[in-house]
Each structure stands twice: as C-alpha cells, then as structure tokens.
Amino acid sequence: MKSMGLNSGSSANSEKKIIHYARFGKILNVKKPLVYIQLLFSVVISLILLLNLKEVSHLISYFSIYFLNDARILEETVASFFKLNYIGYSGRFPSLYESVIYIFISLIFILYIPKVNLLSAPIKIYVQFFFLVLLCSSLFFYLVPYKFPYSSNNFSLLYMTIQVGILSFIPVVLGFALSLLNVSTAIFFLNILITFITLIYSFVFGVVRYIAMLYLLDKLSYIWMANFFFNLGPLLDMIYISSIYSFYLSILSEKYATKIAYWRWVY
C-alpha cells in the first residue's frame, strides 16, 4: 500500500503498514463499561481520601517534621467535620525596614518586567502577578502590621487544608480526563497506575513545599505568606498534574497510532 495516511513511514518511499482514518471523522473505540468503572473508581478513591483526611494530614506532617527544628504536630477540626493534623512552627513579622525594601523590589519588578525582552508575555504576566501580591503584602505590613490575621500555625493549617483538598481532587480530575482513553483493560489499569503515580508525586511535592514554606516564613517573615498561598498554591499543582497527563497522553498517542482497532470511523 502506498503512503496515504496521517503518519507516513520513515522515508517518502517507504510503504505504510496502516492507513489511518482521516482525523475529521475518527472516534476512539472506547469500552464504555471501563469508562464508567474508572469514573466510579476515581470517586471512590477521592471519598476514601476525604474520609481519612486526618491520617493523610498526619502522614504529611510526620514526614515534614523531620526537616524542621522545634516543630510539633497539632490537631484541628476544619469546617466542623474534618479533623486535620498539621505542623506548629515558629514564624516572624517583617520589620518596617524589610517592608519598605519589599515595596521597592515589588515596584521594580512590576514596572520593569514588561521591558525585559528575554521573557515571553505570559511569563511577564506571571512575574508581575507574583510581585503584585507581594506589593499588597508589603504595603499591608508597612501600614497596619498589627492587623495581620494569621500566625505561622494558621498558615500551616491553611496549607494542610489545601494540600489534602488537592490530593482528594486528583483522582476525580484525572479520572475524568483518563477515562476517555479506555480502549482496553490494559489501558484501564495503566490509567489507574497513572492516577496513583500522580497522587504519590503530589504527596512528595506537598511535603517538600510544606517544609520549604514553613522554613521560609520563619526566615523571610510573614510578608511572603500571601505569595505562598496565591502564587505557589493549588494552581501550581495543576502544572505537574497536566505534565504527567500530557506525557502519558503523548506516549499513548504514538501507541494508538499503530493500532487501528483502537479507532472507529464516523459512519
């Protein structure tokens, strides 16, 4: 057969083993029961995590405490129902001098980043947003530091709430995304494996970030708390979630390209 399809062979003269369906009308030959089983499975995993938040949060705290001096594990009930463990750690307020320095640093970045040609526009916007939050924080600590409503322990609890929230959502988010790829039982189990790999990654990343943030709040002061919360919080988690998903999808895309049975035609 002469080369006609989407993916030609290694050279222009090579013959094609498979002629693919045209992209406008091809559909995945998905096994619908596997889709529903995976969706159900994902919801169950999320529920299991939600019902064991105390244990999950304890595990995060347990690993984190090894790297933080004079830290202790505390317990708190969140939203009148969920018991969480978190780390109690010291922190400090910024001095007036530090606040002024950060105001200037933030202003310099906000005003001059748009003029840096080396960075692309999305990165500039991210950096500007980052320093805008820092500017708000610096101004707050410069003007009304005594009104800052949080301590290091409050932040620690907030972080833990968010982290266990992310862990609970990962199976659902990935469950929905991966379920549509279920063309065989092997893929179904691979999808489950990917979900667990992402959960493990998220757990490790969550611990490392927790340690780093608590440490930096003590060393660099509470002035960074808002940035940790808004810029380095859950939106950042989407980067590794979508990274793992996209890497997996790209591998599957190559694999599916060789299996005509995985596809159906529109008619």
Partner 1 sequence: MGLLIFFLKVYIVMLVFVIILYIIRHFVFTYNRVMGEQRVSYHDVLDSDLPYVSVLIPMHNEEKVARYVLDAIILQDYPKDKIEVIPINDHSTDKTKDILEEYASKYSYIKPLHRLGDEQRGKPSALNDALKLAKGEIIVIYDADYIPPKGQLRELVINFIDPEVGAVMGRVVPINTPKNLLTRLLDLERSGGYQIDQQARYNLGLIPQYGGTVGAFRKELILKFGGFDPEVLAEDTDLTFKMYLEGYKVLYINRAECYEEAPESWKVRARQIRRWSRGHNQVLFKYLIPFWKSKDISLMQKIDGTLLLFIYMVPFLMLLGFVDSILLFYLGEMEIMSIFIVILSLMAYNSFGNFAPFFQIGLAGFLDGVSRRLRLLPLFYFVFLFNLWYTSLGFIDALVDLITKRKAVWQKTERFRGS
197 scored as a contact of partner 1 (CB under 8 A): no
Q: Which CB atom, from 67 or from 140, has the smaller least distance to partner 1?
A: 140
Judged by CB under 8 A, the residue of 44, 111, 116, 123 near partner 1 is 123
Q: Which CB atom, from 62 or from 240, has the smaller least distance to partner 1?
A: 240
| Whole-Å CA distances, 28 to 21, 41, 65, 198 | 11, 21, 47, 24
Judged by CB under 8 A, the residue of 154, 205, 220, 260 near partner 1 is 154
Whole-angstrom distance, CA of residue 200 vs CA of residue 206: 10
Identify the DSSP state of 116.
-
| Whole-Å CA distances, 121 to 11, 102, 117, 233, 240 | 39, 24, 9, 22, 22
253 scored as a contact of partner 1 (CB under 8 A): yes
Residue 191, token pair as written in the block: 């999808």
Judged by CB under 8 A, the residue of 157, 194, 214, 223 near partner 1 is 157
- Check: CB of residue 21 under 8 Å from CB of residue 257: no
- Check: CB of residue 25 under 8 Å from CB of residue 14: no
Give me the residues that bind partner 1 (CB under 8 A), please: 6-7, 20, 22-28, 30, 32, 35, 78-79, 120-123, 125-126, 129, 133, 136, 140, 147-150, 154, 157-158, 161-162, 165-166, 169, 173, 176-177, 180, 226, 229-230, 233-235, 237-240, 242-243, 245-247, 249-254, 256-257, 266-267
